[in-house]
Amino acid sequence: MAEKQIPKMQKCIAVLWPSFLTAIVATGVFFSAFDPDDLFPFGANLEISRLGVYTIGFLLFWLVSTISGIGTLYFAITNCMRTNPDSREQ
Amino acid sequence: MVTPDASGPAVARQSDEQVEESLYAKQEKIYPREVHGLFARLRVLGVLGLLGIYYITPWLRWDGHQALLLDLPARKFHIFSLTLWPQDFIYLAFLLIIAGLTLFFVTALAGRIWCGYACPQTVWTEAFMWIERKVEGDRMRQKKLDAMPMNVRKFRIKATKHLLWIAFAGWTGFTFVGYFTPIIDLGQRLTAFNLGPWETFWVIFYGFATYGNAGFMREQVCKYMCPYARFQSAMFDKDTLIISYIDERGEPRGSRKRSADPAALGLGDCIDCTMCVQVCPTGIDIRNGLQYECIACSACIDACDDVMEKMGYEKGLIKYTTEQAMHGGKTHIVRPRIVIYALILLTIMSVFTYTFSQRTSLGLDVIRDRNRLFRETDEGLIENVYILKILNMDDRGHAYRLSVEGLHELELYTDTNRIWVGAGEVLELPVRLRVEEDDLQERSNKVIFSLVATDDPELKTREEARFLGPR
């Protein structure tokens, strides 16, 4: 499973999709424990509705888990290339 | 010519390399042939039923409000007469666990019937393919259209299809948001082009996901993205319902005249018409055995039964069966795996039902005044100040009686004589507790606040707090 054998699209999905699912769970747990109105006492000035805070929270969670997913993919691929040098030429 | 495999169809004949190749090969578009028959009718029924539920539910009314409204902006879930609060999140987690275990149980029993009939991916793909067929025509016409260079006619047909898809997807996204914010209000603002930015974002996001998943990704979602498709085989055993081609009966396959006697030609019942391959939404050949791409939609059963009928052969060359039955054994419905799954499921369901029945629609939070630990009054009593947050989660208002215990001759003072909290409201009530210094045993003492509705003694709750003193 060297890098070149996996299409770019599939790599994108392999990172974005699980992190999307993780972000949904994280958003659900986080915002059921914390009310945005209590979290950001100064946020009222920004006039972002709760729905907006949820959305931003969700996107941030998605971003964070995407970064972690990219890391996993990167280490998996580079490790595979190191232990199996032939695969680089394919 | 393929010879029957002694190990049975459960073992795919493809070698590892072939599997690898098909996994990473560039995807070719699959044009599934339309199929008619018993299972196709069942699926259409399932699709219409589930889509109906999805699109109609947010419009249902109950007692003057939306029957099912997961009101995220207000942080309240309305489910008919029930109102759930963020602190009830545990029940949602319970429900998700129950749903997951139910899926395990059903999978062990009946294989991937979820995938074939009820999965949203299947349901919306089916709807999108129906639109595609109405606009572009059947399989052959679709292939021809895609192969021809762009011209006015092709552009017109493609544009019509995509416009219909986008409209349908947009409506799906709108309905989705309608589960989370009141849909009638949302509809009115939509027609006035006055949607909020976040609502617009989610309508487009969900609509786009529907359009992409059901219009383009289709079986690739099942093959590459679905976690369930990856691990469902762990729930399978020899007695699980699967869709299988009966090797012994079908092989050796080969075409023949309708009048020909297969026995004389040395052929099995499979006439190699490839109808089962043409109807397959994931583009596999079921005759190669059970494959993880198979979503058990049973389109091949319908297609093959139709052919068998035309040939005058017995139906069921491809059918719902179990590995056990294929090898001449008897299928056991009750078996350890099923019993264990059922027991776990029943236990969790009982725990859920019990805790849910114990749920009280009254919440009490005690927050100590942060400014000072305690105060000595002019009469020489030790005083602690608290803020009580009383949360009435019931659908009507109540008056409550507050009491406190834990220390000798503990006195309770509030600014009001009558504690009244309206339906779904939170009351912040400052409370002072006073006690003789001599009655304090320690620096920090346990006190318990009790709250009970005056009109319903069953509606009560208790909350612990600390009373601090100089000692």
CB pair distance less than 8 Å for B24 and A5: yes
Whether chain B has a CB inside 8 Å of the CB on A54: the answer is yes
Alpha helices in B183-251 (DSSP H): 183-191, 197-210, 219-220, 227-231, 247-250
* Residue B19 phi, psi (nearest 5): -60, -45
Q: For residue A46, name the pLDDT band (cuts at 50, 70, 90).
A: low
Cis bond leading into B252, ω under 30°? yes
Whether chain B has a CB inside 8 Å of the CB on A49: the answer is yes
- The confidence score (pLDDT) of residue A14 equals 87
Chains A, B: CB pairs < 8 Å: 43
CATH dotted code for B362-468: 2.60.40.10
Best residue of B70, B75, B90 to probe chain A, by most A CBs closer than 10 Å: B75
The partner residue sitting opposite B24, judged by closest CB among A6, A13, A52, is A6
CB pair distance less than 8 Å for B86 and A35: yes
Residue type, B17: E
Chain B CA closest to residue A19:
B225
The partner residue sitting opposite A10, judged by closest CB among B75, B89, B224, is B224
The partner residue sitting opposite A55, judged by closest CB among B92, B181, B201, is B201
* Residue B446 phi, psi (nearest 5): -85, 130
**For B412, what's the count of Cα atoms within 13 Å in the CB-facing half-sphere?**
19
DSSP SS3 for B158:
helix
- The confidence score (pLDDT) of residue A86 equals 61
pTM of the model: 0.82
- pLDDT (tens place) for every residue of chain B, 471 residues total: 333 343 433 344 444 444 444 444 456 788 888 889 999 999 999 999 999 999 999 999 988 889 999 998 888 899 988 888 887 888 988 999 999 999 999 999 999 999 999 999 999 999 999 999 999 999 999 999 999 999 999 999 999 999 999 999 999 999 999 999 999 999 999 999 989 899 999 999 999 999 999 999 888 889 888 889 988 888 888 999 999 999 999 888 998 888 888 888 889 999 999 999 999 999 899 999 888 899 999 999 999 999 999 998 999 999 999 999 988 888 888 999 999 999 999 999 999 999 998 888 888 999 988 888 888 888 889 999 999 999 988 878 899 999 999 888 889 999 888 899 988 788 999 999 999 988 888 888 999 999 999 998 888 899 999 999 886
Interior/surface letters B313-335, b for 16+ CB within 10 angstroms, e for the rest: beeebbbbbbbbbbeeeeeeeeb
Contacts of A47 in chain B (CB under 8 A): none
Q: Write down the residue that tokens 């617009």 correspond to.
A: B200
Which residues 6+ apart lie within 8 Å of A78 measured at CB? Answer: none
Interface of B with A (CB under 8 A): 24, 26, 72-75, 86, 89, 92, 180-181, 196-199, 201-202, 224-225, 227
Q: Where in chain B are all domains bearing CATH 2.60.40.10?
A: 362-468
Which residues 6+ apart lie within 8 Å of B438 measured at CB? Answer: none
Dist. CA B159–CA B165, nearest whole Å: 10
The partner residue sitting opposite B225, judged by closest CB among A17, A29, A32, is A17
Best residue of B225, B231, B391 to probe chain A, by most A CBs closer than 10 Å: B225
Q: For residue A33, name the pLDDT band (cuts at 50, 70, 90).
A: confident
Whether chain B has a CB inside 8 Å of the CB on A24: the answer is no
Tokens of A22: 């993780």
Q: For residue A44, name the pLDDT band (cuts at 50, 70, 90).
A: low
Dist. CA B226–CA B319, nearest whole Å: 25
Whether chain B has a CB inside 8 Å of the CB on A12: the answer is no
The partner residue sitting opposite A49, judged by closest CB among B73, B180, B227, is B73
Output the DSSP codes for B351-380: HHHHHHHT--SEEEEEEE-SS-S-EE-TTS
Whether chain B has a CB inside 8 Å of the CB on A29: the answer is yes
The percent of residues above 90 in pLDDT, for chain A, comes to 39
